[in-house]
Chain A
Amino acid sequence: MQLTSFLHRMQFAFTITFHYLFPQLTMGLAPLIVILKTLAIRTGNRQYDDASRFWAKIFGINFAMGVVTGIPMEFQFGTNWAQFSRLTGGVIGQPLAMEGTFSFFLESAFLGMFLFGEKRLGKWGHWLAAFLVFLGSWLSGFFIIVTDAWMQHPVGYTLLPGGRFSVSSFWELLTNPWALIQYAHNMCGAVITGTFVMAAVGAFYLLQRQFADYGRIFLRVGVICGVMASLFQVFPSGDLHGKYMARYQPITTAAMEGLFKSQTGAPIVILGQPDEEHETIDNPIIADKVLSFLIYGTTTAEVAGLNAFPKDQWPTNIPLVYFAYHVMVGLGTIFVAIMVLAAFLLWRGKLYQSQWMLWIIMLCAPFPYIANTAGWLTAEVGRQPWLVYGLLRTSQGYSQNVIAGNTMFTLLGYMGLYLLLGILFLFLVPREIANGPASNSHPVFVVTASKES
């Protein structure tokens, strides 16, 4: 029993973590490509067109990876979490089906036009196609967040006989305050990935002394958007999310912060390892009273610790929640520092010559991926032992008719397959980056209208 449930959880965790490496870049790049297209039209500078075409190629590879790893997600609710799907399909089936109808059709239709139809669409038509791809990818994110937010903070439902849930207010479901806050935080996280990757490629070109004109464009757009996104991520979106979490999932907040005992003027732990057995933090570096202030705005407020709650409601993996959260917050803070500094150098006109800063920017590219993954780990592992917070436990949700042997088979299958995909991705993207933005003269086939059809 234990093993079966563990394998189902591992398969979902593995496939979703791998999947989300790709959409975060597509969702982050989409608005940046729209910005590049806008600049191309407004300035009439060809280089912006080349730049957006270059990023469209990277976008296309990521999009394909996102699609092929995303389809299994849509079906895994049914294959591995059948009990959960049976009980909650009447609620979360709605946003998931809406994602298919509203965003996937939009995205797939206009991505095809954006990638293959530049000549035929004209500059404004092509801009519109880029914009609609952006809209589609961001809508898709919204519906997924609505689904997750309902699991984190269920609203707008009624309970039917047999333990089934049914949506009672469609509007409440879509405007779940948790969803709106989480959406802002998540999409901003995606933009951070997009801006860091764009800036890193720019820095790479300048350090390589190759495609330097494009390098400067990428750095400028990446740093200006990146500094805004990094700041917004901490305040207000992260701040709001934290406060909301403390209000509705105080146990999770306690686990994230490693706060074992309720106290007034609660400290914030910056470093240290949580010791569940003795309910302390080893070798702590702490800042007194900061946690009370962050949550309630006063240094004297009482913050509930884990000891305020029965143990069967504690998150099942407290060290992971704690570290995932600390990694996310730590990296988020570093991102602000780097981007503010880079923006300052850009403003003083020194960024393109500062080798050390270019090195830092280039090497930073992987870290937003880690921060985004850590953030999702915090949210999802922090929600345990619940699937639907306070209503349905994870142990009640998995497919009991699928035995461990079958789940192990598919989990290993996904691991092997995704390993291949990862290798392929790491081969293709650096190649496109090395080819650079100006190498666009591949012969391509185009479809043209002809009379005999």
Chain B
Amino acid sequence: METLWFVLVAIMLTAYVVLDGFDLGAGALHLFIARTEEERRAVISTIGPVWNGNEVWLIAAGGTLFFAFPLLYASAFSGFYLPLNIVLWLLVFRGIGLEFRMHVDQLWRTLFDGFFAISSALLAIFFGAALGNVMRGVALGENHFFFEPLWTTFRTGPDTGILDWYTCGAAILALVALMVHGALYVALKSNGTVNARAHNFARRLLPLLVVLTLIGVPVSAIVRPRTLDNFTDHPLLYVIPMGVALSLASIWIFERQAKEKPAFIASCSYLALMLAGAAAALYPALLPSTGGDPTRDITIYNAAAGPYALRVGLIWWGIGMCLAVAYFGLVYRMFRGKVRSETAVQPNP
């Protein structure tokens, strides 16, 4: 049962990264992809109707974490107090920049676009660093609590901060990966100059993404040797890194051929498999400890809520998720296709 919830939470977080990933990436790039007001509107309207729903995956995953693994929720959220609050502020800026730009005048719109772009990029960076922290592990105490300042010496080791060379690397990888993802999405949904610029960005960033991925994956094993344990025990898991490589290759090939939809789907699968690889490396830990004492790890067993809670949760979660997927199907169907400019004049009485 605990394992099942581990998988479900992992799926929700993956859904969040894949979905909100493209609007974060599009946000980080939109100042460069779109130069005129009309182009910016075109980019914004590719994500306008869906970004809020995408972000709900983060909230729903947070809530699910709270009820399925209360100890992890309590320990990780208080231990990562500072970066988490900064992420929340960035989410505020981003939401405001995106939602209210149409309500203000041209001058302020530039400022709001700036908020939106900077907060999108910083969010991608913080999420990458967060994943890096989880992969590296933190200095958990005997009571499974910890506290990390933003940075200490930028070295991995006993007194780590949120940012060290490894997590900074993860942050850059995340930013590049989401920018590629966002560029491919904008390309898929747009026409004309915006479309051309988006393709251009995707092509330029791709080699960087390949290099970073090739460095990043092996380095994780050095930073925390236990990362490889599950892979050595179950060699079948090596399918995941192979899948990552395959996805990267497909993005490259489809992007060359300007096949927008397959390229975007390959990018989704790249992100999903990277996260699946991380989850496979962690299991059964949710947050490993750095001290080398595995009893301090927060695992699915010591963090899980009672068995009744997990059972009853499965029922409503199943129903709720079916509904959520149905809504998403409906929304994406309704707003499918490319955006085009149209003046919708509503009748005046």
Q: Which of A120, A401, A403, A445 contacts B41 (CB 8 A)?
A: A445
Nearest-CB residue, chain B, relative to A402:
B81
- Assess whether B147 is interfacial by the CB under 8 Å rule: yes
Is B242 positioned at the interface, with any CB of A under 8 Å from its CB? Answer: no
Q: Which chain A residues (60-98) contact chain B, with CB distance < 8 Å?
A: 60-61, 64, 67-69, 71-72, 74-75, 77-80, 82-83, 85-91, 93-94, 96-98
Q: Does B257 contact A (CB under 8 A)?
A: no
Residue-wise, chain B 187-203 has the 8 Å CB interface mask toward A (1 for contact) of: 01100000000000000
Q: Which of the residues B58, B92, B146 comes within 8 Å of A68, measured between beta carbons?
A: B92
Q: Which of A100, A111, A112, A409 has the most CB of B within 10 A?
A: A100
B133 to chain A, nearest CB (A): 15
Q: Do the beta carbons of A445 and B88 come within 8 Å of each other?
A: no
Interface with B: A163-171, A196-204, A264-272, A329-337, which one?
A163-171
B231 at interface by CB-CB < 8 Å: no
Whether A93 contacts B49 by the Cβ 8 Å rule is no
Q: A101 at interface (Cβ–Cβ under 8 A)?
A: yes
Given A90-B70, A440-B348, A100 contacting B64 (CB threshold 8 A): yes
Chain B: CB-nearest residue to A400: B145
| Chain A stretch 403-453: residues in CB contact (< 8 A) with chain B | 403, 406, 409-410, 413, 417, 421, 424, 428, 431-432, 438, 440-450, 452-453
A119 within 8 Å of B (CB atoms): yes
Task: Please give, as numbers and ranges, the residues of chain A lying within 8 Å of B342 by CB-CB distance.
Answer: 443-446, 448
- CA distance in complex: A85, B104 (Å): 40
Report A67 CB to chain B, min CB distance, Å: 6
Please determine whether B330 and A109 come into contact, CB atoms closer than 8 angstroms.
yes
- Asked if A110 is at the interface (CB within 8 A of a chain B CB), the reply is yes
B145-188, CB < 8 A from A: 145-147, 188
Residues of B within 8 A of A424 (CB): 96, 100
A82 touches B49 (CB 8 A): no
Q: Are A453 and B337 in contact (CB under 8 A)?
A: yes
In the complex, are the beta carbons of B45 and A74 less than 8 A apart? no
Q: B95 to A64, Cβ gap below 8 A?
A: yes
Interface size on A, residues (CB 8 A): 86
| B68 CB contact (under 8 Å) in A87, A93, A440 | A93
B59 and A104 within 8 A (CB):
yes
Residue of A nearest to B316 (CB): A98
Please give me the residue from chain A that is nearest to B344 by CB atom.
A444
The distance from the CB of A211 to the nearest CB of chain B, in whole angstroms, is 10
Residue in contact with B63 in the complex, picked from A93, A106, A110, A116, CB distance below 8 Å:
A93
Given the complex of chains A and B, what is the CA–CA distance between A112 and B328 in angstroms?
11
CB of A170 within 8 A of CB of B312, answer: yes
Q: Is B78 touching A453 in the complex (CB atoms < 8 A)?
A: no
Give per-residue flags for B67-93: 1 if the beta carbon is below 8 A from chain A beta carbons, else 0: 111110111111101101100110110
Whether B66 lies near A421 (C-beta < 8 A) is no
A85 to B303, CA, bound (A): 12
Determine the chain A residues whose CB is within 8 A of the CB of B69 once the complex forms: 89
Cross-chain contact of A110 among B50, B145, B327 (Cβ < 8 A): B327
Say yes or no: A80 contacts B49, CB within 8 Å.
no
Closest to B80 in A: A79
A177 interface residue per 8 A CB criterion:
no
A447: chain B residues within 8 A (beta carbon): 45-46, 49, 189, 335-339
Residues in A whose Cβ lies below 8 Å from that of B261: 453
Beta-carbon nearest neighbor of B338 in chain A: A450
Q: Which residues of A contact B50 (CB under 8 A)?
A: 112
Q: Is the CB of B81 within 8 A of A93?
A: no
- Taken together as a complex, chains A and B put the C-alpha atoms of A67 and B340 apart, in Å, by 28
Beta-carbon contact of B60 and A97 below 8 Å = yes
Q: Is the CB of A90 within 8 A of B339?
A: no
Task: Give chain B residues whose Cβ lies under 8 Å from the Cβ of A109.
Answer: 53, 327-328, 330-331
Distance A99 CA – B174 CA, assembled complex (angstroms): 29
**Chain B interface size range:** 35 or more
In the complex, how many angstroms separate the beta carbon of A17 from the nearest chain B beta carbon?
A: 16
Contacts of B328 in A (CB 8 A): 105, 109
Interface segment, one of A46-54, A239-247, A290-298, A360-368: A46-54
Tell me, yes or no, whether A1 is within 8 Å of chain B by CB: no
A117, CB-defined interface residue at 8 Å: yes
Given the known interface contacts A90-B306, A97-B63, the answer about A105 and B327 at a Cβ–Cβ threshold of 8 Å is yes
A66 smallest CB distance to B (angstroms): 10
B53:A64 contact, CB within 8 angstroms:
no
Chain A residues with CB under 8 Å of B338's CB are 447-448, 450, 452-453
The smallest beta-carbon distance between A55 and chain B, in angstroms, is: 15
Please determine whether B74 and A86 come into contact, CB atoms closer than 8 angstroms. yes
0/1 string, B294-335, CB within 8 A of A gives 1: 000000000001101100110011001101100110110011
How many Å lie between the Cα of A270 and that of B58 in the bound state?
Answer: 47
| B99 interface hit (Cβ, 8 Å) | yes
Kindly identify which residue among B60, B75, B100, B330 contacts A428, using a CB–CB cutoff of 8 Å: B100
Q: Which residues of B contact A119 (CB under 8 A)?
A: 344
CB atoms of B344 and A68 under 8 A apart:
no
A409: chain B residues at CB < 8 Å are: 82
Residues of A near B188 (CB, < 8 A) are: 453
Nearest CB in chain B to that of A171: its residue: B312
Whether A106 lies near B327 (C-beta < 8 A) is yes
Cβ–Cβ contact A443 & B66, under 8 A: no
Give CA–CA (A400, B308) in the complex, Å. 29
Cβ-neighbour of A85 out of B42, B68, B70, B317 (below 8 A): B70
B334 partner residues in chain A, CB cutoff 8 A: 113, 117, 120
Complex-state Cα separation, A215 to B127, whole angstroms? 48
Residues of A within 8 A of B42 (CB): 445
In this complex, what residue of B is CB-closest to A453? Answer: B337
How would residues 367 to 404 of chain A score, 1 for a CB under 8 Å from any chain B CB and 0 otherwise? 00000000000000000000000000000000111110
**Chain A 151-173 interface residues, beta-carbon cutoff 8 Å to B:** 158, 160, 164, 166-168, 170
Q: Say yes or no: A160 contacts B306, CB within 8 Å.
A: yes
Tell me whether B103 is interfacial, beta carbon within 8 Å.
yes
User: Measured between C-beta atoms, what is the minimum distance from B335 to chain A in Å?
Assistant: 4
Asked if A249 is an interface residue, CB under 8 A from chain B, the answer is: no
28 contacts between A and B (CB under 8 A): A71-B58, A71-B88, A71-B91, A72-B88, A78-B77, A85-B73, A86-B73, A89-B71, A97-B60, A97-B67, A101-B323, A105-B327, A106-B323, A113-B330, A113-B334, A399-B74, A401-B145, A402-B78, A410-B85, A417-B92, A424-B100, A428-B103, A445-B339, A448-B337, A448-B338, A449-B337, A450-B337, A453-B336
Known contacts A421-B96, A438-B348; 17 additional CB pairs below 8 A are: A61-B99, A64-B99, A68-B96, A71-B91, A72-B88, A78-B76, A80-B78, A82-B145, A86-B75, A89-B66, A93-B305, A97-B60, A101-B316, A105-B323, A113-B331, A402-B78, A413-B85
Closest 5 pairs (CB-CB, A-B): A89-B70, A93-B67, A78-B77, A101-B320, A166-B306
